[in-house]
Structure 1
Amino acid sequence: MRIGILGAGNMAEALGTQWTRAGHQVMVSGRDPAKPRALAERLGPSARSGTFAEAAEFGDVVLVAVLHSAVTGVLTAAGAETGTLRGKVLIDCTNAVVPDRFALDLPAGASMAEQIADQAVGAHVVKAFNACNESVWRLTPPVFDGRPLIVPLCGDDAEAIAIVRSLVTDIGCEPADGGPLERASLLEATTAFMIGLWFRGVDAQAMLPPQKYGTSA
């Protein structure tokens, strides 16, 4: 599969490394050509670098992997408003979390995923990979106490979800149906809440009981 990555930072490197190892072709991108070029060299012969527009054109799947404050400008540079991403699977792994407050830098009820869908004309947006730090995505595989990491996915297009599910399993994780894209706001808010707990020294995973206790009999 051809995967374009909008960005050349830590998330781009972590997921790009996993996907090139799984046999996918990857193009990383950035405003300064030197950074994505260096990253592509680290990723190996199945990776290349280019501009945001080139990565958007290259990928059957495109990953948005930049700071949330840069997303609008990067999508514009990629030609999102003019339909360059039409029909493509567009993965959003961003978190609009305000440092120190651990709250979302968004209007109430809004999500980054839905904002991206509004801007990226015709793209099939899937929210995924946002609930963990980039260091987790570097693990081979991300397994904790013998249990593979679950990656929730939110999206409206069944074919797009199926493709992202395959990319999740490629890195040794288990995909989970998180519902339609409108539920991405809940996933993003949950992530912000968990990040706040982790920074306070609380094991956020321990706040959830086993699944059998999660629903009434």
Structure 2
Amino acid sequence: MKIGILGTGNMATTLGGAWTRAGHDVLVGGRSTGTLRTAARHGELVLFAVPAPAAPKLAADLADVLAGRIVLDCTNPVEPGPDGPMLTVPPGSSVAAQIATAAPGAAVVKAFNVCHASIWTLDPPAFEGLPLTVPFCASTPAAAERVAALIASMGCTPAPCGGLARAPYLEATAALAIGVWFAGGAARGIFPEPAQVQALS
């Protein structure tokens, strides 16, 4: 797949490296408008790896280029609060939905936002013998199918979570996980394996 990455931070670097290892054609653009447009034009999939508050405006600025492409939103709209990381978007909203509004011709997928950037340096990402599961939600079935194939190509397990209306739940899950990590806990320990849940039901 041809993938354009908007941003030059840790998520841009580590996901770009993971996709390159998986054999995809990756182009990174950051800082200047020209390089961002070049990267967006390059990709059939375009990753937004920018600060969450900047994502909707960037989508509006590049709406003409993003039309007909799949936009991957890995942002997390969180900021420190007295009780831990807090969401900065209104209840029921999401950065992914804001991107979709700003660039109506694009198919938007919320994905790759739950894990720390360092996880994507693992080849493949796996824990206790199990591949990492990557939850995502997409605005169209075609985008969901394409992103599922991308996730599988990285050695991970795709976990579709429904349409883009469910993006607020993924963003809230990330805020919860970040809070658990910063408190010294293990977020993955919150969720037992499906077989264990079935055994108890």
* TM-score with structure 1 setting the length: 0.85
Structure 2 equivalent of residue 153 of structure 1: 136
Q: Percent identity?
A: 47
Contact kept in structure 2, 1:6 and 1:74, CA below 8 Å: no
Structure 1 equivalent of residue 51 of structure 2: 67
Deviation at 1:144, TM superposition (A): 0.4
Aligned ranges for residues 203-214 of structure 1 at < 5 Å?
Answer: 203-214=186-197
Matched, 1:201 2:175: no
Deviation at 1:171, TM superposition (A): 1.4
Structure 1 alignment gaps of length 5 or more: 34-49
Contact kept in structure 2, 1:66 and 1:94, CA below 8 Å: yes
Contact kept in structure 2, 1:61 and 1:88, CA below 8 Å: yes
Structure 1 equivalent of residue 65 of structure 2: 84
Aligned match of 2:42 in 58, 77, 85?
58
Structure 1 equivalent of residue 115 of structure 2: 132
Structure 2 equivalent of residue 171 of structure 1: 154
Matched, 1:143 2:126: yes
Contact kept in structure 1, 2:4 and 2:45, CA below 8 Å: yes
* TM-score with structure 2 setting the length: 0.92
Contact kept in structure 2, 1:116 and 1:125, CA below 8 Å: yes
Structure 2 equivalent of residue 111 of structure 1: 94
Structure 2 equivalent of residue 16 of structure 1: 16
Q: Deviations over 1:53-89 (max 9, x none)?
A: 1111111110101111221343244x22xx3211111
Contact kept in structure 1, 2:56 and 2:95, CA below 8 Å: no
Regions of 4+ moved over 3 Å: 212-217
Deviation at 1:146, TM superposition (A): 0.4
What's the RMSD between the two structures over aligned residues?
A: 1.7
Report the Cα distance in structure 2 between the residues aligned to 1:106 and 1:175, rounded to whole angstroms.
26
